[in-house]
Amino acid sequence: MSDDEIILSELSDDELVLQMHDDPYDGLREEIEEGVNILIARGWAPYDALTKALVAGMTIVGADFRDGILFVPEVLLAANAMKGGMAILKPLLIATGAPRMGKMVIGTVKGDIHDIGKNLVGMMMEGAGFEVRDLGINNSVEKYLEALEAEQPDILGMSALLTTTMPYMKVVIDTLKEKGMREDYIVLVGGAPLNEEFGKAIGADAYCRDAAVAVETAKGFMMRKHNRASA
Ligand code: B1M
């Protein structure tokens, strides 16, 4: 059977998920959207559809981009397909969420236009009951400061996907220190090239490996903040 003849709704869950792993690679946004809708209609939890079908497919794209098999235009199409699936899952993830936990301002740092991971973190935080103000990509220290003043969040989240842009997180944190604002916020950082050691070295409160860890870490910090306030 050729790819054209595949009827997604006739595939088993395992076959469908395998097919969806190939879809970002081929930039097939509509097929990803259809696949997500089928999984949800079959009773899949939105989080499982996100991680097992979408993120896993994007990981394959990432490996081939790294190895020089795929190039920027193909990766842009893959990102577009991924975003189609995420747009369906976002309201579902939010609907399964809990009571309001706190507020987060999140953005990708200056010089960096990667936003898929950051968007995922924002979605998962909203799903967990956080109010999220997303600053988008390429944020200068001034933009972060402006948003912190305007939004008065509990948490500042920063994302960086490039080894050349991750040091900018330290610029933001150092500026907060200089202005005597550092202790006003819980600062969480994430992105593929970071690690825990880097998070500590730049003075963040925590490095978050993925969106689920970001949610758990944020909840933990908020609990401690509330406990301190009521002590
Ligand atoms: Co780019 N890119 N890219 N890219 N890209 C990487 C990052 C790269 C590792 C690919 C590679 O070579 N192997 C490489 C960086 C190498 C390095 O720095 N050492 C790279 C490069 C080199 C580039 C360009 C320079 C390529 C070029 O132009 N020659 C260029 C840079 C542009 C710029 O930013 N100035 C570029 C461009 C692009 C596209 C535009 C084509 C596209 C981005 C589209 C978009 O985001 N809208 C793109 C993509 C898609 C990737 C890869 C393939 C996938 C990234 C992704 O979306 N992953 C990536 C390869 C890879 O990472 N394996 C790559 C899926 C996402 C769910 O994971 O983003 O890691 P991730 O997010 C996770 C966690 O990291 C964490 O939670 C998320 C969800 O679980 N997390 C946080 C992320 N942010 C967080 C913030 C938090 C907490 C957790 O705050 C609290």
Kindly calculate the radius of gyration of the chain based on its CA atoms and give it in whole angstroms. Answer: 19
Domain end call among 96, 123, 149: 96
| pLDDT the model gives residue 1 | 47
- Total number of domains constituting the chain: 2
Kindly state if the Cβ of 191 falls inside 6 Å of ligand 1. yes
Q: Look up the domain containing 67 and give its range.
A: 8-96
Structure tokens at 27: 């930039």
Same domain, 138 and 214: yes
- Write the residue with the smallest CA distance to atom 59 of ligand 1: 62
Does residue 25 lie in a domain region?
A: yes
Does residue 1 lie in a domain region?
A: no
Model confidence, pTM: 0.84
Kindly state if the Cβ of 136 falls inside 6 Å of ligand 1. no
CATH number at residue 16: 1.10.1240.10
Over residues 114-133, the pLDDT tens digits come to 999 999 888 778 867 788 99
| pLDDT the model gives residue 222 | 94
- Write the residue with the smallest CA distance to atom 25 of ligand 1: 162
User: How far does residue 113's CA lie from ligand 1's centre (Å)?
Assistant: 8
Same domain, 89 and 48: yes
Same domain, 136 and 222: yes
Over residues 31-85, the pLDDT tens digits come to 999 999 999 999 999 988 988 998 888 888 878 887 889 888 888 898 889 889 9
Same domain, 65 and 143: no
Same domain, 57 and 110: no
